[in-house]
Each structure stands twice: as structure tokens, then as C-alpha cells.
Amino acid sequence: MGNQSPFEKAETYGLTQPEVIILYNVAGWFNGTKFDVHDQKYSIGTEYEPTLRQLTGDQWEPDWDEEHERLIQRGLFKSENRDENIYLAGRRCNWAPTENCMQIIEDIFADREELYPTWVLDEHTRPPTFRDGNELMEHRKGVLASKHLFGSLERVLTVDAYPRHIAQLPDLRLGGAGESLARVEVLTHHRNTETWEQKFKKWRGKRAGPTVWIYENRANMVRFWNYFIDHGLIDLDGGRFGGRPENWSPKRVNDRLRRSREGRPNYSSHDVVWTIPGVIEASRIDAFELFKDNRITFRS
């Protein structure tokens, strides 16, 4: 059984050979593999999702549109018809994998070490995806986009992805010359308020250091902070974030958090916010300015 090929394992699920090839490429994208698209290198951490045809490249055959549709109908890819969110970082993606899809990938490709990501640890869930719990593509995109961007900063010498050797477990730990610069936490389950509260309380102390919170979009960013205000956990200068959430840019939210940290008695944690689309589209200068403006210092 251990020597079965992915194609043999896939027979259990009634998958065709083209569908296995498609899922292999999806698994590679999920783990940060670089793909040639329009003569450029694309990866989940640097670009928005290409089409499935572009992802599979020369492997794609004319009749694979039917295979793609079959994967949607069988519930391996998300579908609008099932009221599932098919948007990643604000862009439509017709091949966003479901939890069922990820479990199948972890079964049929478990032994394909070429798919393994660079941060592999035994403590993570099953290969080849080595997910953080039931992590799906939106969350992985936020983590790897942040890893790519913040890791490009000159003074960020280490980027520890999914660290398991520390008591507090953010998605990324950024390190400088002999120091911890910041933690990065990506939040994509926008209704999971219990988890929000646990993490915020854990990292709110003055000695805890900076936390960079990365959200799916502006609406979820605003919902996050209004939740803490409404439940009496914090008091920000200016109160709740009112009006249309989409009108609150991360810069405006960061400005309010900075002011509040300096003048409100029950808000003292060092928090910085951004969105996944913002990180994807940002330059290294943008990241440097974010850290500079929000006092994530780079000491030599």
C-alpha cells in the first residue's frame, strides 16, 4: 500500500488522471511552488491566482475544462452555487480548494516530497501541505505573501514560518540582529471571535512586542477592532470605526491605534494592521514605511 502511486490512490476517490494532475499543481501552488506564467515566475506569495489553465501550463488539454467543472461539482473546488466564497485576496478564483479537497491532496500526495514546503515540521498536520490546523488557501496566501514581503526588508534577517518552538504561536516570527522584531498573524476566519480574543489578550502586554495583523479585507479589519471596543476590551481614541468599513484604509486604522496607544488607559499593545491584497500589491518600500511609521524598529 505504501508504494502506491498518486494515480492508484486517487482511484479510491474516483478521480481521473487529469484531475490528479490538476490537484498536484494546486498542491504546489498552496505550498509556494513557483510557476511560469506569461514568462514570469508566479507563486501564491507574490501574485494573485492565475487561471487553472495557466497554472497547469503545457499539461493542459482542451477537454480539461470538463475535468475542472467536475472538480467543482464534486465539491473539491468551491462554488458560488453552494454559497461558498470563491474569492482569494479579493479576486475571483474558480479553483479554490475546499477542506475535502485538501484532505484528498494530503492522502494521495503524502509521499511526494518535492511538494513539501520549506518550513516542514513534524508538529504540523499531514504532508504534503503541512497545514496549520484546517488552514485553507486564503490563510496560506496571507502567510506566504507576508513572508515574502517582510522577508525582503534588509534588517529582517529571519522569518520563522509557523513557529512551534515558542509558547506564543503566531503565523510568522520576524527577527533582526539578535532580536525579535515582530510577530505576524493572518486572520481569515472572520467570525471566529473567540480565537481573536485569545490571541489579542496573549499579545497585548507592553513587553509582548509588536503584532502585525493581516486581514482578508478592510471589512474584517474593522470588524475585528469594533468587536474589542463593543465588548469593553479596549477604548480607542475616536471610539468605534463607523460608516462603511471599506472606507477605512489600514493607514487610517494604524494612525488611530498609534494615537490610542499613547493616550488611552486600557489600550497599550503594539498593533499594526494590513490586508492580504495590500501585502500582495506592496513594494519593499511600502513595507519599510509601514514598519517605520508604526515604530517596528530596526536596531543594529
| Per-residue pLDDT, 299 | 46
| Per-residue pLDDT, 297 | 74
Residue with cell 492522502: 107
156-171 as b/e: b if 16+ CB within 10 A: beebbbbbeeeeeebb
Quick one: angle between helices 193-202 and 218-230, nearest 10? 70
Query: How far is it, in rounded angstroms, from Cα 91 to Cα 127?
Result: 28
SS3 state of residue 108? helix
| Per-residue pLDDT, 47 | 96
Query: How far is it, in rounded angstroms, from Cα 82 to Cα 166?
Result: 39
| Per-residue pLDDT, 224 | 96
Query: How far is it, in rounded angstroms, from Cα 191 to Cα 200?
Result: 15
| Per-residue pLDDT, 172 | 95
Domain boundaries, the chain: 6-135, 138-293
User: Which stretches of the chain score pLDDT less than 70?
Assistant: 1-2, 121-124, 165-168, 206, 298-300
Query: What global pTM score does this model have?
Result: 0.93
97-133 pLDDT tens trace: 999 999 999 999 999 999 999 887 655 578 999 998 8
| Per-residue pLDDT, 132 | 86
